[in-house]
Amino acid sequence: MAEKLDLSFTKQEESRQGEVFFQEAPAHTGQQRLFYIESYGCQMNFSDSEIVASILGEVGFQPTREMEVADLILINTCSIREKAEETVRKRLQVFNKQKRQRPDLMIGVLGCMAERLKAKFLEEEKLVDMVVGPDAYRDLPTLVAGAEEGEKGVNVFLSREETYADISPLRLDSNGVTAFISIMRGCDNMCSFCVVPYTRGRERSRNSYSILAEAQDLYDRGYREVTLLGQNVDSYKWENPETGDVVNFAQLLEMVAQVHPDLRIRFSTSHPKDITDEVLYTMAKYENICKYIHLPVQSGNSRILKLMNRTYDREWYMDRVRAVYRIMPDCTISSDIITGFCTETEEEHQESLSMIEFAKYSMSYMFAYSERPGTPAAKKYADDVPEEVKKRRLDEVIRLQTQVSYHHNKADIGKTFKVLIEGDSRRSDQEFKGRNSQNKMIVFPKKHGLRPGDYVDVTITEATSATLRGVVKGEE
């Protein structure tokens, strides 16, 4: 997540696009095999790349940050909007240039775009050697071995069971303080605009005890924050095959919160139809469960929400927002908003604007609707809002959200927050950056003795729409 928010495209897939994962790799010996991986898309994709790195590690591949020395280049792709796919195609051209110079180089396409286009990818992009969907990463060593023999391979099998529960992710490009833990895969929601159910398959939850073990291991290795990831975490449900006991999301949260009071817990993404008061009360009960909820509204208008098949309406959503602030007055909420969905009128668009003010989002990820082939919306509704209208509405949404974020942040001036230090700020090695419980990024001058992974009280002195600045309490 970017320290400086670019509100035009703040979703992880854009702000982290192209970020290269690496860990220190041993020198290239000629025998050592190296892979280079780029990840696009949501946090789940970044988390998946760490699973891929672990699987490849088992067969002797080490990560490298330099594609020029890699034996294998992988690109973990996103299909959520057309723009995400265009970016991937451009990167493939760059990789293909490498391959023309080094014919032994292997190139693999992973993730959602691999799943969506399947074998077609090999026809369209002749220099790609393997196409691997999100549930088929265990097959990578076999596919790589095939590619080494010059065989092209595709595995886009979607599983009802795969959760990679037993794989210990290799933490790539890690700050050593914060980490993702994937708690479920797939999605059963069928929002009409969304390609995810087709690229990531049916929803399934991971064994609670393997999640706990991963959280404990991270804590023992010095990590101080975990983000539990799923397409819809509120529908997490794992049945213990031995006892028949069922663990729901609120119970999982509580279990992870008890790993250690100094281990912070975040989670993403919540669905407004599923987030229960039980989850909210559990959040309130534990200081180390962060007071921040990403609760995408998508649209503020009930008719559009129905067309989107979100299965809640404006009133329901507003009720959930009221419940959040009632149970946790210090909680922040963020959102995803789509402008110009099929048939959206100006009045309906106004309701998305008024929702930003009602919910007082600390920030939002905002998008113009992009029709995705094969989705229910593409099949049933005309993509009839002109592109320039979508963009203008998007600009209005961004402008309003920037103002609301600014006011939200300005109200923090003078307050003191417990901040988990993540590392140096982007601009200066004289400053640290870290987040408060509400997920706001806070930059402050370093103080002797403090290190990444420490908690420190910081008093806020300045605010923009994207960042807070402050000083360590007592140093004012």
Footprint of ligand SF4 (CB under 6 A): 13, 41-42, 44-45, 78-80, 111-112, 195-196, 199-200
Q: Following DSSP, what letter does each residue of 16-45 receive, concatenated? A: TTTPEE--PPPP--SSSEEEEEEE-SSHHH
Report the residue closest to ligand SF4, judged by CB: 41
**296: contact with ligand 5AD by CB under 6 A:** yes
Q: Following DSSP, what letter does each residue of 352-400 receive, concatenated? A: HHHHHHHHT-SEEEEEE----TTSHHHHHS---S-HHHHHHHHHHHHHH
Nearer to ligand 5AD, 170 or 377 (CB): 377
Binder of ligand 5AD out of 67, 74, 80, 443 (CB under 6 A): 80
Give the Cα-Cα-Cα angle 56, 59, 63 (nearest 5 degrees): 40
Residue 388: count other Cβ atoms within 10 Å of its Cβ: 9
| Contact region with ligand 5AD (CB under 6 A), list: 130-138, 179-187, 343-351, 362-370 | 362-370
Q: What is the number of alpha carbons within 13 Å of residue 404 lying toward its C-beta?
A: 23
C-alpha dihedral, 253 to 256 to 260 to 266, nearest 10°: -60
- Token look-up 């103002």 returns 403
Q: Would you state the structure tokens that stand for residue 48, as one six-digit string?
A: 């998946």
Q: How many residues sit close enough to ligand 5AD to count as binding (CB under 6 A)? A: 12
Binder of ligand 5AD out of 53, 321, 338, 342 (CB under 6 A): 338
**417: contact with ligand 5AD by CB under 6 A:** no
109 interface partner picked from ligand SF4, ligand 5AD, none, CB below 5 to 8 A per type: none
Nearer to ligand SF4, 146 or 376 (CB): 376
Query: Which residue type is seen at 448?
Result: H
Least distance CB 433 / ligand 5AD (angstroms): 25
Report the residue closest to ligand 5AD, judged by CB: 336
**297: contact with ligand 5AD by CB under 6 A:** no
State phi, psi for 433 to the nearest 5 degrees.
-125, 155
Binder of ligand 5AD out of 372, 393, 435, 469 (CB under 6 A): 372
**298: contact with ligand 5AD by CB under 6 A:** yes
Nearer to ligand SF4, 34 or 377 (CB): 377
- Token look-up 């009632």 returns 326
CA–CA distance, 59 with 353 (Å, rounded to integer): 52
Least distance CB 262 / ligand 5AD (angstroms): 31
CA–CA distance, 344 with 342 (Å, rounded to integer): 6
Interacting residue ranges for ligand 5AD, rule: CB under 6 A: 80-81, 193-194, 296, 298, 336, 338, 367, 369-370, 372
